[in-house]
Structure 1
Amino acid sequence: MQRHRKMDGFLENVLSRLGFQTTDEQRDILVLNVLLLGDKQSGRSSVGNALIGGQEFQTGACVSGVSVTTELQVLSRKFPAYFRRQGAESDLMLRVIDTPPAKLRPQSLQDLCPDGVHVLVVVVRVDQLTDNSQLLRHIENLCGPDWHHHAMLVFTHADHLEKAGLQPSVYLSQSSDWLRYLAKEVGGGVSFLDNSFDWPSIRGRPLRDQLLRLSAKNHHKALRLRSDQSL
């Protein structure tokens, strides 16, 4: 019996060195809180579905043929062995919060994310641009002056640019001052997503990788959200 125990221990050590996880081992889990921000009909729910790799974010009533999220939604998804940290495999857990602009309550978000938010994903639809400079003020009021270090910008419906024969760089150069400022300031860079094909399976992984790189740049430190009283 003792000989069998020694042999089992030897095999576990060999498998561990080869990178295999035994049944008794627990991988490290990195949990990231992700807040989606953007105007109505911007495509926040679609970006949320791409991040979690599914179609779980539900939308409500339809306005002019475009679905509109009607209530706060929080969904989580764990991606086993998603990346390596300090030489060991780690799981990635994303908690994605989608809050309609009209119902964005700082205290509610603080209750949902008492440890803060790791990544802010600002969503803008390329074919419905308005002067939304107040969004930047709102984000700073909510997250403080360092918000841009934790933010990335995602343009949805980028297929309209291809139809118009516009390159993303040209589109940005011709956009409004607030949008050019936002694209320049966000620490996580800019992504253009095409809504004409399957987002979760095609666009999800690159978007998650971009998000993970941004969080790593900030040493996975979360932004503390301000309460209603401090605004």
Structure 2
Amino acid sequence: MDLHTDNLLGFLGTFGRQDERNVLTLNVLLLGDRQSGRSSVGNALIGGDGFQTGICISGDAVTTKHRLLCRNFQRFFRRQGAESDLTLRVVDTPPMLLPRPHSVHELCPEGVHVLVFVARADLPHDNTRLEEQTLFGPGWRRHALLVVTHADHLEEAGLHPSDYLTQTSDWLRALAEEAGGGVSFVDNSRDWPSIRGRPLRDRLLRLSAENHHRALTVRTEVSL
């Protein structure tokens, strides 16, 4: 598979130094079906519009190749009393059950720190179980965050997010219960990529810290 990689600021290492500040680099993998809002979540995370978004009239996915965008957020947090930068390397994937392991490994040879699953609140979901264990091993749930987009439709329907999770498909309900980073609902009726960018980055950082910033190793021997 062809890979298209955009490095805005380049890879700085998991822990490096930039202008005497610590730098923490996190690899983030976006997963979700077509039109789920996956690329928009990626744009929110990097604080830009580098990932292509929109509605494809033909029904095909807008994202057809794995794509990497990278951005450094200076003085984003404090670690052991020192100011630290946060560098996010965000990989958007074509909509499929599992991404190609060799593609992910080529873009993230150090592994993946956070798996971000994106699902739309206003669309039905296949009642199939995602088998990330095949690609990352049994510990993948501790590194997972579920983002539910178009949550404004729940409010219009008078449905509380917790009630929605009890009524959704089995696999999505199980993922919401098991994901180490929990569930984040975003409202698409507002300019949410700019509004929700910082809260989403904060959640990624907390989740990675809970895992001591250890990355999931990609199992390249998996045949998909």
Give 3-state SS (helix, strand or coil) of 1:109's partner: helix
User: Structure 1 length normalisation: TM-score?
Assistant: 0.83
- 1:55 is matched with 49
- 1:118 is matched with 113
- 1:128 is matched with 123
- 101 and 196 in structure 1: CA distance in 2 versus 1, 3 angstrom threshold: same
**Contact 1:38/1:101 (CA < 8 Å) preserved in 2?**
yes
Alignment of 1:186-201 (within 5 A): 186-201=179-194
By how many angstroms is 1:208 displaced? 0.5
Which whole-Å CA distance do the structure 1 matches of 2:199 and 2:60 have between them? 25
- 1:219 is matched with 212
Q: Does 1:144 align with 2:134?
A: no
By how many angstroms is 1:67 displaced? 6.7
Alignment of 1:1-231 (within 5 A): 25-59=19-53, 62-63=56-57, 68-102=62-96, 104-134=99-129, 136-137=130-131, 139-229=132-222
Which whole-Å CA distance do the structure 2 matches of 1:60 and 1:104 have between them? 21
**Contact 2:61/2:94 (CA < 8 Å) preserved in 1?**
no
Give 3-state SS (helix, strand or coil) of 1:58's partner: coil
Q: Look up the equivalent residue of 1:223 and give its one-letter code.
A: L
Q: Which has the higher helix share?
A: 1
- Gaps of at least 5 residues in structure 1 are 1-23
**Contact 1:156/1:195 (CA < 8 Å) preserved in 2?**
yes
Q: Look up the equivalent residue of 2:118 and give its one-letter code.
A: V
Give 3-state SS (helix, strand or coil) of 1:202's partner: helix
By how many angstroms is 1:199 displaced? 2.2
Which whole-Å CA distance do the structure 1 matches of 2:170 and 2:92 have between them? 26
Instruction: Compare 49-58 and 64-73 and name the one that shifted more.
Output: 64-73
Give 3-state SS (helix, strand or coil) of 1:213's partner: helix
Give 3-state SS (helix, strand or coil) of 1:33's partner: strand
Which whole-Å CA distance do the structure 2 matches of 1:161 and 1:115 have between them? 38
**Contact 1:60/1:67 (CA < 8 Å) preserved in 2?**
no
Q: Look up the equivalent residue of 1:96 and give its one-letter code.
A: V
**Contact 1:46/1:57 (CA < 8 Å) preserved in 2?**
yes
**Contact 1:60/1:69 (CA < 8 Å) preserved in 2?**
no
Instruction: Compare 24-33 and 204-213 and name the one that shifted more.
Output: 24-33
* Structure of higher CA gyration radius: 1
- Gaps of at least 5 residues in structure 2 are 1-17
User: Structure 2 length normalisation: TM-score?
Assistant: 0.86
Which whole-Å CA distance do the structure 2 matches of 1:216 and 1:155 have between them? 22
Which whole-Å CA distance do the structure 2 matches of 1:83 and 1:189 have between them? 21
Give 3-state SS (helix, strand or coil) of 2:116's partner: strand
Which whole-Å CA distance do the structure 2 matches of 1:207 and 1:130 have between them? 23
By how many angstroms is 1:64 displaced? 6.5
By how many angstroms is 1:62 displaced? 0.8
Give 3-state SS (helix, strand or coil) of 2:48's partner: coil
Q: Look up the equivalent residue of 1:169 and give its one-letter code.
A: S
Which whole-Å CA distance do the structure 2 matches of 1:104 and 1:39 have between them? 11
Query: Aligned residues: percent identity?
Result: 67
